[in-house]
Amino acid sequence: MRLDDKVAIVTGAAMGIGAGIAERFVQAGAAVVVFDINDEGACQLARSLSQEGRALVIHGDVACEDDVQSAVARTVQQFGALDILVNNAGIEGPGQVVDYSSGDWDRVLGVNLKGCFLFSKYAIPHMRRRGGAIVNISSVHAFVSYVGNAAYDASKSGIIGLTRALALEYGHDKIRVNAICPGYISTPMTEQWLAIQPDPAATLKQVLSFHPLGRIGTPRDVADAALFLASDAAAFISGTYLVVDGGMTAVGH
């Protein structure tokens, strides 16, 4: 599974799953654009990646159309092509519906779902030149829900629908579009969630009990799945999703 001579944009790549994917893609031979609103984290990652291959930091908000359009144009100007897009950027927005503000709802849907739409909209015209792959990072929250996650659940379910639509509309351009649905992954977001629990140790023990494999995932677990879907090893796979959750949803969680 190599990505030699490929150019990829990874959104939300400053940390967590996005950083894992960017690192894995560089190791596989791709030039990678690290797109994030977190300048410090993005620059730190890019410095480490530049020791192994080509990496470029672009600051921006995935929910801002001007930022997205500019990032895609700069990528093509810098590297001469765009072959792979990983729509990873995402935020949580805990809160039950009747207590939720419309502004908070718009922000979660804007980053998690509209961001996928905007980057796809501006990347696809360049991918048409020689085909390409889009990997959208959804979540097991597309299928299972917990109290207080309506906006997040809705956004991640929407990504699955968008993935199917894009695969249908642009398959004739040899653009494959798939999604990954991670479960519990060891990321700063997960650590922050655990930290605010009344008993973090007990909560972690309960979470581990959900997983037949006996552990939660790592960014590398998701990155390997993204590499597979972005590579020629998945040349006949499009319009579907891959669940990366250690078997959690198989037991009803």
- Positions annotated as catalytic residues are 152
Let me know: does 189 contact 238? Beta carbons within 8 Å: no
The alpha carbon dihedral of 234, 51, 18, 58 has a sign of negative
Instruction: Quote the tokens at residue 251.
Output: 């037991």
- 11 forms beta bridges with 35
DSSP string, the chain: ---TT-EEEEET-SSHHHHHHHHHHHHTT-EEEEEES-HHHHHHHHHHHHTTS-EEEEE--TT-HHHHHHHHHHHHHHHS---EEEE-------B-GGG--HHHHHHHHIIIIIHHHHHHHHHHHHHTTT-EEEEEE--GGGT---TTBHHHHHHHHHHHHHHHHHHHHHGGGTEEEEEEEE-SB-SHHHHHHHHTSSSHHHHHHHHHHT-TTSS-B-HHHHHHHHHHHHSGGGTT--S-EEEESTTGGGGT-
| Other Cβ atoms closer than 10 A to 247 | 14
